[in-house]
Amino acid sequence: MKVSHIEHLGIAVKSLDEAIPYWENVLGLKCYKIEEVADQKVKTAFFKIGETKIELLEPTCPESKIAGFIEKRGIGIHHMALAVENIEEQLADAASKEIRLIDQTPRKGADGMTIAFLHPKSTQGILTELCENKNK
Ligand code: ZN
């Protein structure tokens, strides 16, 4: 595969209202966008650290995967997103190396990105998201 940088870290939080002040007041970052992603049942808040973003994920209902994650593991880092070009090719490459795919084909993610998830069982325990900005 060809990965250029960490596009973002996805961080599970119980409440954006509770989490955002830490990132803004302690770390001195500025939330530049809040976006609800209905099909993932989350509300997201974005920050930038250099080229990398922080994506806070608040579950919008108990059936949200993020709600399940917090229940099991608590709040904290949920996934790592890697920036790639030509996500279809990278996904095929991962599959050819026997990496288990959560998404067989790329789909639309938050912040205008095209995304696909790899299963943590085959990525050293790290839920990994491939991310391509097709709008640039
Ligand atoms: Zn993400």
Question: How many of the other CB atoms lie within 10 Å of CB of 44?
Answer: 23
Distance 130 CA to ligand 1 centre (A): 9
Q: Across the chain, what does the average pLDDT equal?
A: 96
| Span from the CA of 135 to the centroid of ligand 1 (angstroms) | 17
Residue 59 CA, ligand 1 centroid: distance in Å: 13
Predicted local confidence at residue 45, as pLDDT:
97
Cα 80 to middle of ligand 1, angstroms: 7
Query: Per-residue confidence at 42, pLDDT binned at 50, 70, 90?
Result: very high
What CATH homologous superfamily does 3-132 map to?
A: 2,3-Dihydroxybiphenyl 1,2-Dioxygenase, domain 1 (3.10.180.10)
**Per residue in 54-89, pLDDT tens?**
999 999 999 999 999 999 999 999 999 999 999 999
Predicted local confidence at residue 94, as pLDDT: 97
pLDDT > 90: percent of the chain: 91
- Domain segments of the chain: what residues? 3-132
User: How many Cβ atoms are within 10 Å of 40's Cβ, its own excluded?
Assistant: 18
Spacing, Cα 17 to ligand 1 middle (Å): 19
Answer yes or no: is pLDDT of 136 > 80: no
CA dist., res. 23 & res. 27, Å (int)? 5
Token pair listed for 111: 């912040």
**Average pLDDT score over residue span 99-119:** 93
pTM greater than 0.85: yes
- As to burial, measured by CB atoms within 10 angstroms (0-12 exposed, 13-18 middle, 19+ buried), residue 42 is buried
Ligand 1 geometric centre to CA of 26 (Å):
23
What share of the chain has pLDDT > 70, as a percent? 100
- DSSP letter, residue 53: E
